Amino acid sequence: MKFIKQHISLIFPLIAILLGLEFFIVFDRTTDSFEKGLQEGYSMIVVSKDEMSIDDFRAWDSHIKQVKELEKSKILKRLNIDEDKEKHLKSSLPNFYSLKLDSYLTVDELESVKSNLQKSSNILSIETFQSAYQSKYELFSFIKFSFQTFIGFMTIIGFFLIVKQMEVWNFLHAQRMKVMEIFGASLFLRSKVLINMALIDAVISAIITSWLFYLFKNSWVQGSQMEILKENIDGVFKFSDIFILLFAAITVVLIAVFLVVINIKEE
């Protein structure tokens, strides 16, 4: 009971911080591929008088990653007109291009790409499908912002709880450390008990957080209808995350221990 009481007050805030960190990693991984999907699924249509190569487009804006010419014959075939008319129309029609961008741009950046391309006298028209793009982008940004705020909030609470725990440590360990200092104990020896305890808590917290995410991946995500997570299930929790969590937990507790120890001054 005493063991649990001693350790839970650090383990709890540590888990809050580690959950925040792991959520951030998972969110980053899944949104990265979602963002990639949005980016790959998006293209703008450009109409030009003369033929244009990718280099011609890139000369106006470097965000252009790929250019695909839309075949006029395919467009005309849909109209079901006779061959002569088709030939005539084909020679008078401008060139149509579908452009893909190098990343998922903001609405402003997209507008800037459009205005850069418009500077070319060869380009007749540009369709960015801005309203569809904007609604997807804003929804995505809102979800991202909300989640990051939640993670940030969780981490701040975790840190506040750790600061509180540092005050408790100060109260519990100051007397022993002061006495040990009087008798010539080194800084390491004085803080050994605290370091050991904090390291145990860091390991326990990393294991609990890893276990929670393992469960999250193997039961909740698999049973859920969230395609974004199901498609990226490997990114929800990786074995290497255990080491990231362990490293983060150890770093946090060692900083906390160090701050407590250097603040304990001999009377």
Partner 1 sequence: MPNVITANNLTLGYENDEEIIKNATFSIKKGDFVFITGPSGSGKSTLLKSFYGNLAPSSGSLVVGGLDMVGINKKNLQELRTHLGIVFQDYKLINEWTVEKNVVLPLWISGYSTEVQETQAKRLLHHVKLSGKEHKYPLELSGGEQQRVGVARALAKNPFLILADEPTGNLDEYSSNVIWDLMENAYHQLETTVVVVTHRIPMVFNIPYRHFTIDENGSIYEVH
Cβ proximity to partner 1, 182 vs 255, nearer residue: 182
HEC readout, 58-120: HHHCCCEEEEEEECHHHHHHCCCCCHHHHHHHHHHCCEEEEEEECCCCCHHHHHHHHHHHHCC
Cβ proximity to partner 1, 174 vs 212, nearer residue: 174
CB of 173 to partner 1, least distance (A): 9
Cβ proximity to partner 1, 234 vs 266, nearer residue: 266
Cβ proximity to partner 1, 8 vs 182, nearer residue: 182
CB of 175 to partner 1, least distance (A): 7
CB of 190 to partner 1, least distance (A): 9
CB of 14 to partner 1, least distance (A): 23
Cβ proximity to partner 1, 41 vs 184, nearer residue: 184
Cβ proximity to partner 1, 154 vs 261, nearer residue: 261
Give the footprint of partner 1 on this chain (CB under 8 A).
Answer: 175-176, 178-180, 182-186, 189, 266-267
CB of 178 to partner 1, least distance (A): 8
CB of 171 to partner 1, least distance (A): 12
In order, the DSSP letters of the chain are -HHHHHHHHHHHHHHHHHHHHHHHHHHHHHHHHHHHHHHHH--EEEEESS---HHHHHHH-TTEEEEEEEPHHHHHHTT---HHHHHHHHHHS-EEEEEEESS---HHHHHHHHHHHHT-TTEEEEE--HHHHHHHHHHHHHHHHHHHHHHHHHHHHHHHHHHHHHHHHHHHHHHHHHHHHHTT--HHHHHHHHHHHHHHHHHHHHHHHHHHHHHIIIIIIHHS--HHHHHTHHHH--THHHHHHHHHHHHHHHHHHHHHHHH----
CB of 13 to partner 1, least distance (A): 23
Cβ proximity to partner 1, 3 vs 183, nearer residue: 183
